[in-house]
């Protein structure tokens, strides 16, 4: 009861002046906690606003701007976090100089070189080169090497995220993507040419095999007419078929079949390989395969 009456008689200033540890008073702790809370809330709200602003702008932009916006969003979010950390450090006694050095451009460069590894810094710089050079964009279907094959989903500060055709996400360092040879199936004209190759025996009449291939390919619903007006006038067939190799045991025929895009081209090729195999069997067109003759020598 005595303590309760004593606290009631004390005003707010007297409560804040109660010492806790050495020169640290209740008011100092409360003031420090309020400032930390304000900095935290301001940082979180600013990051939320930046992300919302970029999401709204990406809906109105083309894929090129979307790629640049996504990368720029990551940079701005990290800058906000650094500023929030700097503001927090500036409130701690003895850390003001550290906070000032972080804000300075020379301090930021020194921290990047000193704290970031060579690989992380290289990925960051490579990401900038990818954004500026635009060898690929978010949404493009690309192939880099034998493993990386799919749709680009995101380009962040360190990685390029590619979703392959098995719906698995592949995280590729930006430095790897920057140095790789990229095959982009999206940039430029979307129409795609599929190579349909079939092997026939040397005894097969080539004109019969070519006419059979062309007739079967023309039935596919995904096939499009990619001929120019000059080629149509000249009588160039819609599906061009050529002999490309005289192998050891077979003649290779290649048909050039066009579809609307890469995805349809892949489906069309798979369907045609099946249809051509069945059609060749019906027409009794031999499709040879390598085999060996084993001679058994009988001892007397």
Does some domain include residue 127?
no
- pLDDT tens for 259-298 read 988 888 989 999 999 999 999 999 999 888 776 767 777 7
Residue 113 has pLDDT above 60, yes or no: no
Q: Which are the contacts of 113, defined by CB distance < 8 A and separation ≥ 6?
A: 121
* Residue 254 host element (H or E): strand 251-259
d(CA 88, CA 32): 10
237 and 257 in a single domain? The answer is yes
Instruction: Quote the domain boundaries for residue 52.
Output: 2-115
Does some domain include residue 253?
yes
Residue 147 structure tokens:
């493993």
Lowest-confidence range among 70-84, 175-189, 193-207?
A: 70-84
Residue 2 has pLDDT above 50, yes or no: no
- How much is the pLDDT for 66? 60
CATH number at residue 148: 2.30.30.60
Does some domain include residue 251?
yes
- How much is the pLDDT for 64? 44
- pLDDT tens for 36-91 read 788 788 888 888 887 777 776 666 555 445 666 666 777 778 777 777 777 776 76
84 and 159 in a single domain? The answer is no
Place of tokens 């906000």: 80
Summary mean pLDDT of the chain:
77
- How much is the pLDDT for 143? 86
- pLDDT tens for 141-163 read 888 877 788 888 888 878 888 99
Query: Which of 87, 115, 143 is at the close of a domain?
Result: 115
Place of tokens 């906690």: 33
- β-strand 159-164 against 148-155: which pairing, if any? antiparallel
Residue 135 has pLDDT above 60, yes or no: yes
How many domains are there within the chain?
3
- How much is the pLDDT for 106? 44
Helices (H), 91-193: 96-103, 105-115, 118-133, 174-179
3-state helix/strand/coil string of 165-224: CCCCEEEEEHHHHHHCCEEECCCCCCCEEEEEEEEECCCCCHHHHHHHHHHHHHCCCCCC
Q: Which are the contacts of 170, defined by CB distance < 8 A and separation ≥ 6?
A: 147, 148, 150, 161, 162, 163, 164
- What is the model's pTM? 0.55
High-pLDDT (> 90) share of the chain, %: 21
Does some domain include residue 289?
no
């Amino acid at each position: 009861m005595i303590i309760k009456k004593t606290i009631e008689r004390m005003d707010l200033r007297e409560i804040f002046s109660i010492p806790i540890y050495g020169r640290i008073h209740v008011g100092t702790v409360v003031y420090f906690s309020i400032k930390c809370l304000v900095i935290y809330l301001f940082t979180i709200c600013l990051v939320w606003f930046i992300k919302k602003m970029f999401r709204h702008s990406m809906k109105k932009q083309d894929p090129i701007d979307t790629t640049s916006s996504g990368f720029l969003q990551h940079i701005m979010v990290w800058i906000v976090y650094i500023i929030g950390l700097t503001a927090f450090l500036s409130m701690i006694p003895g850390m003001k100089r550290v906070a000032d050095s972080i804000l300075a451009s020379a301090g930021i460069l020194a921290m990047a070189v000193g704290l970031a590894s060579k690989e992380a810094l290289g990925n960051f710089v490579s990401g900038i080169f990818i954004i500026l050079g635009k060898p690929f964009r978010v949404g493009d279907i690309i192939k880099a090497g034998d493993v990386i094959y799919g749709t680009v989903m995101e380009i962040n500060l360190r990685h390029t995220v590619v979703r392959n055709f098995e719906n698995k996400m592949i995280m590729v360092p930006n430095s790897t993507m920057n140095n790789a040879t990229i095959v982009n199936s999206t940039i430029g004209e979307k129409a795609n040419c599929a190579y349909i190759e079939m092997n026939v025996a040397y005894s097969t009449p080539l004109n019969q095999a070519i006419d059979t291939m062309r007739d079967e390919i023309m039935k596919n619903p995904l096939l499009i007419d990619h001929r120019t007006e000059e080629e149509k006038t000249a009588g160039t067939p819609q599906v061009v078929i050529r002999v490309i190799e005289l192998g050891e045991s077979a003649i290779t025929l290649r048909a050039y079949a066009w579809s609307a895009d890469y995805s349809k081209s892949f489906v069309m090729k798979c369907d045609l390989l099946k249809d051509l195999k069945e059609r060749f069997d019906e027409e009794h067109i031999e499709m040879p395969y390598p085999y060996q003759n084993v001679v058994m020598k009988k001892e007397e």
